[in-house]
Amino acid sequence: MDNPLAWRPQAINTGNWLAGYSLNELRERVGTDRIVLPICSLGTPVEELTGLAPLVLPPLYHEALDDELRVALVSRITECFPFYHETSRGGESSVELIELPARAHPACGPTGGVVAFSVDTAVEEHGPHLPLATDTLQSYAVLERLASEHPGVVLAPPVDYGQLTWGLPFGMSIDITAPLLTRYVTGYTNAIADWLEPTAAYVVDVHGSIVHRAAIQDGLAASRIGRWSFRWLHDPLVALSGDRGDQHAGGVETALIEFINPALVDAAWWPSRREELLAKQMSLEDAVRLSSDLPTFIERVESERLNGIVGGLENYDAIDGADLMERILGVSRTDLAALLPTG
């Protein structure tokens, strides 16, 4: 199969892959740069997609869609992006849909191994200093490491859309809702199973929404994949993150992205404008309280000009990115051992 990591940006705010940009950079480019949403086939080279426009959203896959789901997903994505329709900038700009012809790709199976992929929210703001795809970048750093350790692990492209709430008031964030996510995960997993014919699937995510994680597992359970395991990769980090009020684009995610690739952290913001970032972050307590009242959440963000970080950036001083990654890898290796053939 084509390189499943070809989408991955090498530096923040460069190239055509929109999810590699930060919230603030995209706010400047919306309205001037053409933005497209491609629908393509599995295995379509990333280079073919990035040539479509200056800014390209992650694709939806023909093989994972039926007609009804396609219409519903496109409608929801355009409601959310670039600015959620209930915010003051809603409807300010638009996304162009480009549907490439469906085409068959050579079968890659049976692989005889475990297929691994993430279901994250790759189009979700992560403040001024981190790329939208922060969650997906963390997931694939883990999966790439596991694949290097086990030849029986085959990486598949990510599912780049999911359920979210906190990103919507800030913009540059897409929530496809839990029911649509479940259906899309089922369709995608079936397509991957048909294409690669794996013995099992290992599916991960970093995004912290409990609703998102439940929808993924419902989608996997409804698929034709025989054996699967799901892991929220930040589970072993709770004592170092959420318990300290550090939840979204804060110290933990900054340290992890910096460890994965320092060029993915915008040096124009971190650490040079640290105090400015701290001053405009929202507390985890407030974000949780406002999650069920989106209009009030939006009003708070817009009136105080908050920056998209939810609590705990100061936690960066108390943690180490390499240690965080090893904690994640520890539980992931155990998960994978249960799926891989023995002997």
The strands making up 228-232's β-sheet, listed across from edge to edge, are 153-155, 114-118, 200-205, 228-232
Tell me: the pLDDT tens digits for 305-333? Answer: 999 999 889 999 999 999 999 999 999 99
Average pLDDT over residues 30-40: 95
pLDDT band at 91 (very low <50, low <70, confident <90, very high): confident
What is d(CA 163, CA 183) in angstroms, rounded to the nearest whole number?
12
pLDDT of residue 2: 65
Task: Decide which of 100 and 31 is more confident.
Answer: 100
pLDDT band at 166 (very low <50, low <70, confident <90, very high): very high
Phi, psi of 296 (to 5 degrees): -70, -35
Domain ranges within the chain, ordered by starting residue: 108-339
What is d(CA 147, CA 204) in angstroms, rounded to the nearest whole number?
14
What is d(CA 194, CA 107) in angstroms, rounded to the nearest whole number?
8
What is d(CA 49, CA 36) in angstroms, rounded to the nearest whole number?
10
The 10 Å Cβ neighbour count of residue 343 is 2
Classify domain 108-339 by CATH architecture: 3-Layer(aba) Sandwich (3.40)
pLDDT band at 235 (very low <50, low <70, confident <90, very high): very high
pLDDT of residue 106: 66
What is d(CA 6, CA 291) in angstroms, rounded to the nearest whole number?
35
Integer angstrom CA distances of residue 110 from 55, 113, 154, 185: 35, 8, 11, 21
Whether residue 1 has pLDDT greater than 80: no
Average pLDDT over residues 147-172: 96
